Each structure stands twice: as C-alpha cells, then as structure tokens.
C-alpha cells in the first residue's frame, strides 16, 4: 500500500510554518503518523518549536480519530539561543527577554485549522515523561540535541511506545561530517536498535522510523 500523504492544504500549512524540517522528512513523518494512528492511541511529539511538524501529527491524528500531544518548554534549544546559527529574533519575548515559541506555535495551529486535535504540554520533557501514564502509538523525538537531552528523551519516552507503535527520531546523522548539532540523536537511535525492543522500518534523510517489536526497555 502506498504511504499516506497529507492533503495539499496541510502540506502548504507545513511549508508555511516556521521550523526546520524539510518536506521529504515531513512526508515520511506523516506516513508514519498515519500508520501509527491506526492503533487509536495518542501521537506524541517532543520538541514543538513553532508547530511545523505538529501540523502533520495533528492531521494524522484527526484522520485516525485520536489526538497529537506535543511537549516543549518553548524556551528553545541550545542552538536556537541568541548568537547561535539557528536563532530567530522573532521568537524572543521582549518583556522577559527569553525565547517563547508558544505564541507562534498557537498561530501556526490556528491557521492550519488543527487546534482541536492537539494537546500542547508546556514543560520539560523528562518531567512530562514521568507524569505521562499511558502508551503512545507514536513517539517523535525532536527535542534538545545534547547527549543529556536526547538521552532523557529516549529514556523518558521510548518505554511509552505501544507494542506495534513507532518511535521516530529526527536529526540522525551517522556521519559526523553531516552533523550540525552533534550526533546525540544518532546515539539514541543506535541505543534503540541495540535494546532489541525496536526494529528499523525506514530512513528518510535524517529521519528514522523504528517499530516497537518487543520488550527490552
Ligand atoms: C529542533 S526544535 C523542534 C522542531 C520542530 N519539531 C519542527 O518541526 O519545527 C527543538 C525544540 O525542543 C525544545 N526542547 C529542547 N529541550 C527540551 C526539553 N528538555 N524539554 C522540552 N522541550 C525541549 C526546544 O524548546 C525547541 O523548541
């Protein structure tokens, strides 16, 4: 069966949103989310930023009759802070002088008409993972790219992927030449495979899709 693809208006909203994910990886994420949605469980994202990838999870959730849950403290990752390559001055809250991507994220979802299919959790990924009680049909890890953050995201969220569900990891760069924020996502990808709990399904540029095929984590 051909992979599910988003409607043109959803793809247009994705392309118009602030964010870093290229279209090819977005299509792979959408296909994974559409497949995982069949489990009827929430589709969970770590790393909302301004909602670019959330649009795809939200639309897949809508189609499947479930919901997308997206987690972010909205203060930005290391490489998005002032002075770094990925900083966008428009994301700074002038009153507090810190990044705040929540308002842009809310506008992104509103414009895409997808607000009612998303639960946005504002908080730190490890704290949210600790209080998250249920399983997820899909966990998409696109949060902080230091070893500390990527490891916390893996350890906090991978156990919540339901049997048959999908673990998707962004910015997996096996070759250090390609790295721009380090290879921490690559290391958690290797760890997931080595755990015996996950089997690789697909690789699209830096996006890896793994299926939960056993216990072990
Ligand atoms: C690469 S961006 C996400 C990009 C987004 N998925 C997209 O497609 O545009 C990473 C996000 O992770 C968030 N983040 C980093 N570390 C985090 C943590 N420990 N807990 C929650 N969010 C975190 C940052 O605030 C940032 O918005």
* Nearest residue (CA) to ligand 1, atom 27: 49
Ligand 1 atom closest to the Cα of residue 153 is: 19
Q: What is the rounded average pLDDT for all residues in the chain?
A: 96
pLDDT tens track for 87-118: 999 999 999 999 999 999 999 999 999 999 99
Closest ligand 1 atom, residue 26 Cα: 8
Cα angle 154, 71, 200; round to 5: 35
What's the CA gap between 215 and 128, in Å, rounded?
A: 22
What pLDDT does 196 receive? 96
Residue-wise pLDDT tens digits, 179-203: 667 899 999 999 999 999 999 999 9
Question: Does residue 1 fall inside a structural domain?
Answer: no
Tell how far the Cα of 48 is from the centroid of ligand 1, in angstroms.
6
Residue 145 falls in the annotated catalytic set: yes
Are 172 and 80 in contact, with CB atoms under 8 Å apart? Answer: no
Confidence of residue 62 (pLDDT cuts 50, 70, 90): very high
Pocket around ligand 1: residues whose beta carbon is below 6 Å from it?
19-21, 47-49, 52-53, 71-77, 101, 124-125, 142-144, 149
Residue 176 has pLDDT above 90, yes or no: no
Residue 200 located in a structural domain:
yes
Per annotation, catalytic residue among 73, 145, 149, 170: 145
Atom of ligand 1 nearest to the CA of 17: 9
In a domain, 217, yes or no: no
Mean pLDDT of the region 54-81: 97
Distance 143 CA to ligand 1 centre (A): 4
Q: What is the pLDDT of residue 178?
A: 65
What total number of domains does the chain contain? 1
| Mean pLDDT, rounded, for 131-144 | 97
- Total residue length of the chain: 217
Residue 2 belongs to a domain: no
- For position 150, what pLDDT does the model report? 98
Residue 185: CB partners within 8 Å, gap ≥ 6? 141, 145, 150, 169, 170, 171, 172, 173, 206
- Whether the model clears a pTM of 0.95, i.e. scores above it, the answer is yes
Write out the residue range of the structural domain in which residue 51 sits. 8-212
pLDDT for 175: 87
Q: How far is the CA of 46 from the centre of ligand 1 (A)?
A: 6
Radius of gyration of the chain (CA): 16
* Ligand 1 centre distance from Cα of residue 213 (Å): 27
Task: For residue 28, give the CATH number of its domain.
Answer: 3.40.50.150
Q: Is residue 3 part of a domain?
A: no
Domain-located, residue 197: yes
Is residue 21 predicted with pLDDT exceeding 70?
yes
Ligand 1, from 18, 19, 49, 68: best to mutate by most atoms within 8 Å of Cβ?
49
For residue 22, being part of any structural domain is answered with yes
User: Starting from the edge strand earliest in sequence, which strands make up the sheet with 161-169, in order?
Assistant: 118-122, 68-72, 43-46, 136-141, 161-169, 207-212, 198-204
Cross-strand bridge partners of residue 122? 72
Token reading at 176 = 């250090």
The three-state (H, E, C) secondary structure of the chain, written as one string: CCCCCCCHHHHHHHHHCCCCCCHHHHHHHHHHHHHHHCCCCCEEEECCCCCHHHHHHHHHHHHHCCCEEEEECCCCCHHHCCCCCCCCHHHEECCCCEECCHHHHHHHHHHHCCHHHEEEEECCHHHHHHHCCCCEEEEEECCCCCHHHHHHHHHHHHHHEEEEEEEEECCCCCCHHHCCCCCHHHHHHHHHHHHCCEEEEEEECCEEEEEECCCCC
Check whether 146 has a pLDDT greater than 70: yes
pLDDT at residue 180, as a whole number: 66
What pLDDT, on the 0 to 100 scale, is given for residue 171? 95
Q: Which of 18, 28, 48 to mutate to test the pocket of ligand 1 (most atoms within 8 A of CB)?
A: 48
171 Cα nearest atom in ligand 1: 1
């Amino acid at each position: 069966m051909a992979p599910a693809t988003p409607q043109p208006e959803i793809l247009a909203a994705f392309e118009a949103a602030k964010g870093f994910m290229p279209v090819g990886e977005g299509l792979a994420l959408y296909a994974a989310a559409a497949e995982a949605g069949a489990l009827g469980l929430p589709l969970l994202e770590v790393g909302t930023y301004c909602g670019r990838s959330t649009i795809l999870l939200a639309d897949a959730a809508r189609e499947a009759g479930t919901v997308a849950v997206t987690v972010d403290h909205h203060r930005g990752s290391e490489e998005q802070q002032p002075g770094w390559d990925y900083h966008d001055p428009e994301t700074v809250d002038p009153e507090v002088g810190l990044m705040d991507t929540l308002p842009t994220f809310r506008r992104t979802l509103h414009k895409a008409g997808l607000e009612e299919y998303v639960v946005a959790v504002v908080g730190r990924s490890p704290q949210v993972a600790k209080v998250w009680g249920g399983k997820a049909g899909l966990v998409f890890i696109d949060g902080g790219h230091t070893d500390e953050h990527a490891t916390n995201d893996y350890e906090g969220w991978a156990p919540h992927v339901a049997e048959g569900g999908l673990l998707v990891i962004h910015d997996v760069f096996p070759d250090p030449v390609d790295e721009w924020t380090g290879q921490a996502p690559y290391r958690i990808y290797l760890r997931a495979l080595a755990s015996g709990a996950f089997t690789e399904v697909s690789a699209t540029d830096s996006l890896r899709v793994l299926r939960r095929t056993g216990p072990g984590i």
